Protein backbone atom coordinates (compact mmCIF):
# COMPACT_ATOMS: atom_id res chain seq x y z
CA UNK A 1 0.00 0.00 0.00
CA UNK A 2 1.04 3.61 -0.43
CA UNK A 3 1.13 5.73 2.71
CA UNK A 4 0.83 9.42 1.98
CA UNK A 5 2.25 12.29 3.97
CA UNK A 6 1.33 15.85 3.01
CA UNK A 7 4.34 18.11 3.38
CA UNK A 8 3.79 21.81 4.03
CA UNK A 9 5.81 24.62 2.54
CA UNK A 10 7.35 25.59 5.88
CA UNK A 11 8.34 22.08 6.97
CA UNK A 12 11.71 21.68 8.69
CA UNK A 13 13.64 18.58 9.71
CA UNK A 14 11.61 16.57 7.23
CA UNK A 15 13.78 13.48 7.49
CA UNK A 16 12.45 12.92 10.98
CA UNK A 17 8.98 14.47 10.69
CA UNK A 18 7.63 12.23 7.95
CA UNK A 19 7.39 8.96 9.93
CA UNK A 20 5.19 10.69 12.51
CA UNK A 21 2.90 12.31 9.93
CA UNK A 22 -0.71 11.17 9.79
CA UNK A 23 -1.11 8.74 6.88
CA UNK A 24 -3.35 9.84 4.03
CA UNK A 25 -5.50 7.53 1.91
CA UNK A 26 -3.73 4.26 1.14
CA UNK A 27 -3.88 2.03 -1.90
CA UNK A 28 -3.24 -1.70 -2.06
CA UNK A 29 -0.42 -2.99 -4.22
CA UNK A 30 0.17 -6.52 -5.45
CA UNK A 31 3.23 -7.03 -3.24
CA UNK A 32 1.62 -5.55 -0.13
CA UNK A 33 4.52 -3.27 0.77
CA UNK A 34 3.97 0.09 2.43
CA UNK A 35 5.38 2.75 0.12
CA UNK A 36 5.95 6.25 1.54
CA UNK A 37 4.58 9.06 -0.63
CA UNK A 38 4.96 12.84 -0.48
CA UNK A 39 2.95 15.82 -1.74
CA UNK A 40 4.03 19.45 -2.02
CA UNK A 41 1.17 21.49 -3.53
CA UNK A 42 2.03 24.50 -5.67
CA UNK A 43 2.08 27.89 -4.03
CA UNK A 44 -1.50 29.25 -3.78
CA UNK A 45 -0.27 32.66 -4.97
CA UNK A 46 0.53 31.44 -8.48
CA UNK A 47 -1.38 29.90 -11.35
CA UNK A 48 -1.33 26.11 -11.38
CA UNK A 49 0.74 24.84 -14.30
CA UNK A 50 1.36 21.15 -13.78
CA UNK A 51 2.68 18.40 -11.56
CA UNK A 52 6.21 17.03 -11.21
CA UNK A 53 6.48 13.38 -10.19
CA UNK A 54 10.03 13.12 -8.86
CA UNK A 55 11.93 9.81 -8.85
CA UNK A 56 15.04 9.37 -6.69
CA UNK A 57 18.20 7.40 -7.30
CA UNK A 58 19.84 4.25 -5.94
CA UNK A 59 20.48 4.13 -2.20
CA UNK A 60 18.73 7.43 -1.47
CA UNK A 61 15.16 8.57 -0.91
CA UNK A 62 13.00 11.43 -2.15
CA UNK A 63 13.71 13.95 0.61
CA UNK A 64 17.49 13.55 0.43
CA UNK A 65 17.49 13.74 -3.37
CA UNK A 66 15.29 16.77 -3.99
CA UNK A 67 15.31 18.88 -0.80
CA UNK A 68 18.19 21.19 0.09
CA UNK A 69 21.00 19.82 2.20
CA UNK A 70 22.59 21.94 4.93
CA UNK A 71 25.71 19.88 5.35
CA UNK A 72 26.75 16.49 6.74
CA UNK A 73 24.59 15.33 9.60
CA UNK A 74 22.06 18.14 9.16
CA UNK A 75 18.38 17.86 8.26
CA UNK A 76 17.28 18.65 4.72
CA UNK A 77 15.12 21.71 4.06
CA UNK A 78 12.24 22.64 1.80
CA UNK A 79 13.41 26.27 1.71
CA UNK A 80 15.83 26.83 -1.14
CA UNK A 81 15.18 23.43 -2.69
CA UNK A 82 14.21 22.46 -6.24
CA UNK A 83 10.81 21.52 -4.87
CA UNK A 84 10.19 25.00 -3.48
CA UNK A 85 11.21 26.61 -6.77
CA UNK A 86 8.93 24.27 -8.73
CA UNK A 87 6.10 25.19 -6.36
CA UNK A 88 6.75 28.90 -6.88
CA UNK A 89 6.53 28.38 -10.64
CA UNK A 90 3.10 26.77 -10.33
CA UNK A 91 4.08 23.10 -10.25
CA UNK A 92 2.94 20.78 -7.50
CA UNK A 93 5.51 18.12 -6.65
CA UNK A 94 5.04 14.58 -5.45
CA UNK A 95 6.76 11.22 -5.40
CA UNK A 96 7.53 8.07 -3.47
CA UNK A 97 10.41 6.38 -1.73
CA UNK A 98 11.11 3.34 -3.87
CA UNK A 99 10.59 0.06 -2.06
CA UNK A 100 13.47 -0.78 0.30
CA UNK A 101 14.56 2.89 0.29
CA UNK A 102 13.94 5.68 2.78
CA UNK A 103 10.69 5.23 4.70
CA UNK A 104 9.28 2.53 2.42
CA UNK A 105 9.15 -1.12 3.39
CA UNK A 106 11.57 -3.73 2.08
CA UNK A 107 10.76 -7.11 0.64
CA UNK A 108 12.24 -9.85 2.87
CA UNK A 109 13.50 -7.06 5.13
CA UNK A 110 16.58 -6.28 2.99
CA UNK A 111 17.30 -2.59 2.46
CA UNK A 112 18.18 -1.36 -1.02
CA UNK A 113 16.99 -4.59 -2.59
CA UNK A 114 14.41 -5.40 -5.25
CA UNK A 115 13.55 -8.73 -6.89
CA UNK A 116 13.14 -7.13 -10.30
CA UNK A 117 13.66 -3.62 -11.70
CA UNK A 118 10.10 -3.78 -13.07
CA UNK A 119 8.73 -3.38 -9.54
CA UNK A 120 10.24 0.10 -9.35
CA UNK A 121 8.56 1.07 -12.60
CA UNK A 122 5.22 -0.45 -11.57
CA UNK A 123 5.24 1.45 -8.27
CA UNK A 124 5.80 4.78 -10.05
CA UNK A 125 3.03 4.04 -12.58
CA UNK A 126 0.70 2.97 -9.77
CA UNK A 127 1.36 6.23 -7.95
CA UNK A 128 0.74 8.20 -11.18
CA UNK A 129 -2.61 6.42 -11.62
CA UNK A 130 -3.61 7.45 -8.09
CA UNK A 131 -2.87 11.08 -8.98
CA UNK A 132 -5.02 10.88 -12.08
CA UNK A 133 -7.97 9.43 -10.15
CA UNK A 134 -7.71 11.89 -7.28
CA UNK A 135 -9.64 15.13 -6.91
CA UNK A 136 -6.99 16.83 -4.75
CA UNK A 137 -6.47 20.42 -5.85
CA UNK A 138 -3.04 20.93 -7.36
CA UNK A 139 -2.54 17.27 -8.28
CA UNK A 140 -5.39 16.33 -10.61
CA UNK A 141 -6.33 17.33 -14.15
CA UNK A 142 -2.93 18.95 -14.75
CA UNK A 143 -0.02 18.12 -17.11
CA UNK A 144 2.17 15.51 -15.43
CA UNK A 145 5.96 15.50 -15.84
CA UNK A 146 8.44 12.86 -14.69
CA UNK A 147 11.77 13.97 -13.24
CA UNK A 148 14.26 11.25 -12.38
CA UNK A 149 17.87 11.36 -11.26
CA UNK A 150 20.32 8.48 -11.87
CA UNK A 151 18.39 5.24 -11.23
CA UNK A 152 15.30 7.45 -11.13
CA UNK A 153 16.05 8.54 -14.69
CA UNK A 154 16.06 4.95 -15.90
CA UNK A 155 12.81 4.26 -14.03
CA UNK A 156 11.28 7.38 -15.59
CA UNK A 157 12.30 6.31 -19.11
CA UNK A 158 10.80 2.85 -18.64
CA UNK A 159 7.60 4.34 -17.18
CA UNK A 160 7.03 6.93 -19.89
CA UNK A 161 7.94 4.46 -22.64
CA UNK A 162 5.32 2.06 -21.25
CA UNK A 163 2.50 4.57 -20.66
CA UNK A 164 3.58 7.77 -22.37
CA UNK A 165 0.04 9.09 -22.73
CA UNK A 166 -0.07 9.75 -18.98
CA UNK A 167 2.91 12.12 -19.07
CA UNK A 168 3.73 15.40 -20.76
CA UNK A 169 7.45 14.69 -20.84
CA UNK A 170 10.51 13.62 -18.86
CA UNK A 171 13.37 15.50 -17.22
CA UNK A 172 16.35 13.18 -16.91
CA UNK A 173 19.26 13.97 -14.57
CA UNK A 174 22.33 11.75 -15.02
CA UNK A 175 20.01 8.93 -16.07
CA UNK A 176 21.17 5.34 -15.65
CA UNK A 177 20.83 4.38 -19.31
CA UNK A 178 24.23 2.73 -19.65
CA UNK A 179 26.45 1.05 -17.05
CA UNK A 180 29.11 -0.31 -19.36
CA UNK A 181 31.96 1.68 -17.81
CA UNK A 182 30.89 0.97 -14.22
CA UNK A 183 30.47 -2.74 -14.90
CA UNK A 184 34.02 -2.92 -16.28
CA UNK A 185 35.76 -1.38 -13.25
CA UNK A 186 37.73 -3.25 -10.57
CA UNK A 187 36.00 -6.24 -9.02
CA UNK A 188 32.91 -5.58 -11.13
CA UNK A 189 34.84 -6.74 -14.20
CA UNK A 190 35.30 -10.19 -12.61
CA UNK A 191 31.77 -10.40 -11.22
CA UNK A 192 30.05 -9.59 -14.50
CA UNK A 193 30.57 -12.99 -16.22
CA UNK A 194 28.91 -14.79 -13.29
CA UNK A 195 26.40 -12.05 -12.43
CA UNK A 196 23.34 -14.03 -13.53
CA UNK A 197 24.36 -17.09 -11.52
CA UNK A 198 25.15 -15.05 -8.41
CA UNK A 199 21.87 -13.16 -8.81
CA UNK A 200 19.91 -16.39 -8.41
CA UNK A 201 22.10 -18.17 -5.85
CA UNK A 202 23.08 -15.24 -3.59
CA UNK A 203 20.76 -12.38 -4.69
CA UNK A 204 21.13 -10.22 -1.57
CA UNK A 205 24.93 -10.31 -1.34
CA UNK A 206 26.30 -6.74 -1.41
CA UNK A 207 29.36 -7.16 -3.64
CA UNK A 208 29.23 -4.66 -6.49
CA UNK A 209 31.31 -1.52 -6.00
CA UNK A 210 30.29 2.02 -7.00
CA UNK A 211 32.31 5.24 -7.24
CA UNK A 212 32.25 7.87 -4.51
CA UNK A 213 31.77 11.58 -5.04
CA UNK A 214 35.32 12.89 -4.84
CA UNK A 215 34.50 15.96 -6.92
CA UNK A 216 32.09 17.24 -4.24
CA UNK A 217 33.23 15.54 -1.01
CA UNK A 218 30.77 17.47 1.19
CA UNK A 219 27.88 15.87 -0.71
CA UNK A 220 29.45 12.46 -0.20
CA UNK A 221 29.65 13.19 3.53
CA UNK A 222 25.95 14.14 3.54
CA UNK A 223 25.20 10.73 2.06
CA UNK A 224 27.53 8.94 4.48
CA UNK A 225 25.98 10.59 7.53
CA UNK A 226 22.34 10.12 6.50
CA UNK A 227 21.04 7.09 8.45
CA UNK A 228 18.33 6.43 5.85
CA UNK A 229 20.74 6.29 2.91
CA UNK A 230 22.27 2.97 1.85
CA UNK A 231 25.97 2.85 2.67
CA UNK A 232 26.89 -0.62 1.44
CA UNK A 233 27.82 -2.02 -1.93
CA UNK A 234 25.11 -2.81 -4.45
CA UNK A 235 23.42 -6.17 -3.97
CA UNK A 236 24.09 -8.76 -6.68
CA UNK A 237 20.47 -9.13 -7.84
CA UNK A 238 20.02 -5.37 -7.92
CA UNK A 239 23.19 -4.83 -9.97
CA UNK A 240 22.12 -7.57 -12.38
CA UNK A 241 18.68 -5.97 -12.75
CA UNK A 242 20.22 -2.55 -13.35
CA UNK A 243 22.33 -3.97 -16.18
CA UNK A 244 19.29 -5.68 -17.66
CA UNK A 245 17.18 -2.53 -17.44
CA UNK A 246 19.84 -0.32 -19.03
CA UNK A 247 20.41 -2.83 -21.84
CA UNK A 248 16.67 -2.92 -22.54
CA UNK A 249 16.61 0.87 -22.82
CA UNK A 250 19.53 0.84 -25.27
CA UNK A 251 17.73 -1.72 -27.43
CA UNK A 252 14.45 0.22 -27.49
CA UNK A 253 15.68 3.80 -27.85
CA UNK A 254 14.82 3.91 -31.55
CA UNK A 255 11.13 3.42 -30.64
CA UNK A 256 10.89 6.28 -28.10
CA UNK A 257 8.79 9.29 -29.07
CA UNK A 258 8.26 11.04 -25.71
CA UNK A 259 9.61 14.60 -25.16
CA UNK A 260 12.60 14.85 -22.86
CA UNK A 261 15.15 17.24 -21.43
CA UNK A 262 18.31 15.40 -20.37
CA UNK A 263 21.27 16.66 -18.33
CA UNK A 264 24.40 14.52 -18.10
CA UNK A 265 27.89 15.66 -17.20
CA UNK A 266 30.71 14.13 -19.18
CA UNK A 267 32.63 13.89 -15.87
CA UNK A 268 30.08 11.40 -14.51
CA UNK A 269 31.69 8.14 -13.38
CA UNK A 270 28.56 6.54 -11.88
CA UNK A 271 26.33 6.39 -14.95
CA UNK A 272 27.76 6.48 -18.46
CA UNK A 273 27.10 9.79 -20.31
CA UNK A 274 27.24 7.75 -23.52
CA UNK A 275 23.80 6.36 -22.66
CA UNK A 276 22.28 9.84 -22.72
CA UNK A 277 24.06 10.64 -25.99
CA UNK A 278 22.62 7.49 -27.57
CA UNK A 279 19.13 8.35 -26.31
CA UNK A 280 19.37 11.76 -27.96
CA UNK A 281 20.69 10.29 -31.20
CA UNK A 282 18.34 7.32 -31.52
CA UNK A 283 15.06 8.62 -30.11
CA UNK A 284 12.39 9.43 -32.69
CA UNK A 285 11.04 12.24 -30.52
CA UNK A 286 10.70 15.55 -32.30
CA UNK A 287 11.11 17.31 -28.95
CA UNK A 288 14.41 16.27 -27.35
CA UNK A 289 17.25 18.18 -25.69
CA UNK A 290 20.56 17.02 -24.24
CA UNK A 291 22.75 19.29 -22.10
CA UNK A 292 26.24 18.46 -20.79
CA UNK A 293 26.72 20.63 -17.66
CA UNK A 294 30.27 21.81 -17.10
CA UNK A 295 32.19 21.36 -13.83
CA UNK A 296 29.56 18.96 -12.47
CA UNK A 297 29.62 15.25 -11.68
CA UNK A 298 26.51 13.13 -11.00
CA UNK A 299 24.30 14.54 -8.22
CA UNK A 300 23.06 17.42 -10.34
CA UNK A 301 20.27 18.58 -8.00
CA UNK A 302 22.82 19.25 -5.25
CA UNK A 303 26.07 20.26 -6.94
CA UNK A 304 27.32 23.77 -7.59
CA UNK A 305 25.67 25.04 -10.75
CA UNK A 306 22.35 23.29 -10.10
CA UNK A 307 20.41 26.59 -10.08
CA UNK A 308 21.01 27.00 -13.82
CA UNK A 309 19.73 23.49 -14.48
CA UNK A 310 16.66 24.14 -12.34
CA UNK A 311 15.90 27.31 -14.30
CA UNK A 312 16.10 25.35 -17.54
CA UNK A 313 13.74 22.64 -16.25
CA UNK A 314 11.14 25.20 -15.21
CA UNK A 315 11.34 27.01 -18.54
CA UNK A 316 11.11 23.71 -20.42
CA UNK A 317 8.00 22.62 -18.52
CA UNK A 318 6.27 25.99 -18.83
CA UNK A 319 6.76 25.90 -22.59
CA UNK A 320 4.97 22.53 -22.70
CA UNK A 321 2.00 23.39 -20.50
User: How deeply is 319 buried, as exposed, middle or buried, from its count of CB atoms within 10 A (0-12, 13-18, 19+)?
Assistant: exposed
Confidence of residue 188 (pLDDT cuts 50, 70, 90): very low
pLDDT of residue 31: 73
> What confidence score (pLDDT) does residue 76 get?
94
Residue 7 located in a structural domain: yes
Gap between the terminal Cα atoms of the chain: 31
Reported confidence tier of residue 131, pLDDT bands at 50, 70, 90: confident
Q: Give the DSSP H/E element, type plus range, for residue 112.
A: none
User: Which contiguous run of DSSP H or E holds residue 7?
Assistant: none
For residues 279 and 256, is the Cβ–Cβ distance under 8 A? yes
Does residue 198 form part of some domain?
A: no
| Residue 31 belongs to a domain | yes
Contact 56/97 with Cβ under 8 angstroms?
yes
Averaged pLDDT of the chain: 85
Q: Report yes or no on 174 lying in a domain.
A: yes
The answer to whether 321 touches 50, Cβ cutoff 8 Å, is: yes
The answer as to whether 41 is a domain residue is yes
User: In terms of residue numbers, what domain contains 158?
Assistant: 2-181+246-319
Q: How confident is the model at residue 22 (pLDDT cuts 50, 70, 90)?
A: very low
- For 8-37, what is the mean pLDDT? 47
Q: Specify the pLDDT at position 206.
A: 66
Q: What percent of the chain has pLDDT over 70?
A: 82
In a domain, 267, yes or no: yes
pLDDT in tens, 42-99: 988 899 999 999 999 999 999 999 999 999 999 999 999 999 999 999 999 999 999 9
Q: Over the stretch 201-215, which tens digit does the pLDDT of each residue have?
A: 556 666 677 788 888
Q: Is a pLDDT exceeding 50 seen at residue 111?
A: yes
Q: What span, in angstroms and rounded, lies between the C-alpha atoms of 256 and 314?
A: 23
DSSP-H helix ranges across the chain: 14-17, 62-66, 82-88, 117-133, 151-162, 180-183, 186-191, 195-201, 217-224, 236-252, 273-282, 306-319
* pLDDT tens-digit series, residues 31-41: 789 999 999 99
Contact 59, 24 (CB under 8 A): no
Q: What does the pLDDT look like over 287-313, one tens digit per residue?
A: 999 999 999 999 999 999 999 999 999
Sorting pLDDT into bands at 50, 70 and 90, what band is 170? very high
Which CATH number goes with the domain that contains 22? 3.40.50.1820
* Within-domain flag for 129: yes
Number of domains comprising the chain: 1
| 187 within a domain of the structure (yes/no) | no
Amino acid sequence: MIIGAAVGHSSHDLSFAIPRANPAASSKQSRGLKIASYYWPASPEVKLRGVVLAVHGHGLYLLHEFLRGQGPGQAVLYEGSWIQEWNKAGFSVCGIDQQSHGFSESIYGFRCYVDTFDHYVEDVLHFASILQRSDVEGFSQLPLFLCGESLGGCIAVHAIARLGRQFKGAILLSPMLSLEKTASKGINYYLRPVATLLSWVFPTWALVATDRNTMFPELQKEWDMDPLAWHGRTRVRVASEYLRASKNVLKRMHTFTFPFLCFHSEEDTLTDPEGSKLLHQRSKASDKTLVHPKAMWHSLVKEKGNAELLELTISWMLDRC
